[in-house]
Amino acid sequence: MTESRMQDILRSMPEELSDKIKSRRVKGNEMWLEVELDAFAQVAAHIHNLWGASIVTFHGVDNRIASNDLKLVLVLALKGEEDFAVLLTSMDPEHPSFRSLTPDIPCADWYEREMHDLLGMVPVGHPDPRPLVLYDDWPIEEHPLLKDFPAEKKVQRLPSSYTYHRVEGEGVFEIPVGPVHAGVIEPGHFRFSVAGEPILNLEIRLGYAHKGTEKLFERLTYEKGVFLAERISGDNSFSHSLAFCQAVEGMTHSAPERAEHLRTAFAELERIHCLLGDVGGIALDVAFNVAAQHAYIMRERALDLNDYLAGSRLLRGINCLGGVRMDIPAEKLQRTLSELIRLKLDLKEFASLVFGTQSVLDRTEATGAVSLVTAKDLNLVGPVARASGLDRDVRRDHPYAAYRHMSFRVPVRYEGDVQARLLVKLDELNESISIVEQALGGLPSGAILDRVVDVEEGKTSMGLVESPRGELVHWTISGESNRPLRHKVRDASFHNWRAMETAVLGNIVPDFPLINKSFNLSYSGSDL
């Protein structure tokens, strides 16, 4: 970001807001503004609304040891630019409260509830201050991300006081589903209110797989943190480790050019096997088993290709600080490119099979629709956002690795239903195959690793990646001994879960599994 660009943003603010900005600076493509606490929500709303910015991450930092305060950090991506606005403010740890952003920026909802749970920061004026990520029997005065909360501490569990919203009326019934499910699936609770078959309300309750990941990061060196990042969400292992590495490298130095091309290829190989699972799941949930098995066979071949290239079907153990651990030798390129051509041809056959079957079209068209307005309000990301007309993709908007050198199209549709999500994912599969071909076909010579040795204390950085589910972020501030003082993770699913509650309204209960599969969100990615 240029100094003049920052001045444009500052000049757009009313004088009473600009007077509340205590300091300002430009750092690379980021504008950093330290704002007085009583004006933080207003400054955030001004930049969000006037400049079309979207929330990348919003979190708290326990900084009591260094400056005896708690900090709020809000990162906004400016629309149509590669630039970010980073807003900071401080609060008294004895009175940790701030004005809620949620009434003006709806997608701040879960961020603020998460901060309340983990750090005890109270969002005053929040429309729904119930717990979000901690267990129902967790005592409300215990906040596990505070520095003085020991990681090994055993808390005294209490009877649950969590209350669900109820829809009252004659003929209205509640249908609870989960958190224990019949299949091999992670725990999540879905509470439907129905009148007959149409769904009047859905409330989603997660947190059953919460495992203290961000607390664990603070105890690990950055080098060991790569392995933890790979285990945040199993099928997005590579995306999380890539975002983690980019966050750390942003405080030191970037990876070599050859490593960046290899990272790009592996990121798209991960996208391919994930999206093949998605489209196969949609086919299975409309009872089209022939097409589903066709997709699952392709996915198995994609996983086998990962194993052939990297020794890991889920692409673990590849990323490391400063590059990658393994190269792709020339003798493996030909089989790789041949397999990608086979996949592209088989995808055509799958699409012809699915869209040539009327019963599939009947089940997917107009089912589980999410409007563009809702997509913007909830700040949706990934294929779910693009299927509702929200044209955003980190690979194009904030290029990383070697994406700046790749030619690809970002598929966008506007119907917002299951069929649109299926079409977007099929189009993205073809684009991903093309990107892998470009990345490996133009593989530059040179080193694949330039090791990161030490990270200076007090630096901040962010790794932003377009995972198969959409934008995910790792934000870090370095502490002592090559460990983070605070490491914030925000998976793509964290933004998209709330859209499910909207998508099912007016649909019938038997269509919920299909709508759910078209989103295919991660429980583990949200339950950090």
pLDDT of amino acid 155? 86
The SS3 call for residue 318 is: coil
Q: Which fold has domain 3-124?
A: Beta Polymerase; domain 2 (3.30.460)
Residues in contact with 345: Cβ distance below 8 Å, sequence separation at least 6, in sequence order: none
Indicate the pTM of the whole model. 0.94
Write down the residue that tokens 């693009």 correspond to.
386
Write down the residue that tokens 């400056």 correspond to.
67
Residue 380 backbone phi and psi in degrees, to 5: -65, 155
pLDDT of amino acid 115? 95
One digit per residue, pLDDT tens: the chain, 528 residues? 678 888 888 888 888 888 888 988 888 889 999 999 999 999 999 999 988 899 999 999 999 888 889 999 999 999 888 899 999 999 999 999 999 999 999 999 999 999 999 999 999 999 999 999 988 888 888 899 999 998 888 888 888 878 888 898 888 999 999 888 877 788 999 999 999 889 999 999 998 888 899 999 999 999 999 999 999 998 999 999 999 999 999 999 889 999 999 999 999 999 999 999 999 999 999 999 999 999 999 999 999 999 999 999 999 999 999 999 999 998 899 899 999 999 999 999 999 999 999 999 999 999 999 999 999 999 999 999 999 999 999 999 999 999 999 999 999 999 999 999 999 999 999 999 999 999 999 899 999 999 888 898 889 999 999 999 999 999 999 998 899 999 999 999 999 999 999 999 999 999 999 999 999 999 999 898
Tell me which CATH homologous superfamily contains domain 213-518: Cytochrome-c3 Hydrogenase, chain B (1.10.645.10)
Sheet holding 172-177, edge to edge: 172-177, 189-195, 199-205
| Domain limits, the chain | 3-124, 172-205, 213-518
Task: Single out the residue of 96, 102, 101, 100 nearest to residue 118, CA to CA.
Answer: 96
What region, left, alpha or beta, does residue 53 occupy, with left being phi > 0 and alpha being psi -120 to 50 degrees? beta
CA–CA distance, 463 with 450 (Å, rounded to integer): 18
H/E run at residue 35: strand 30-35
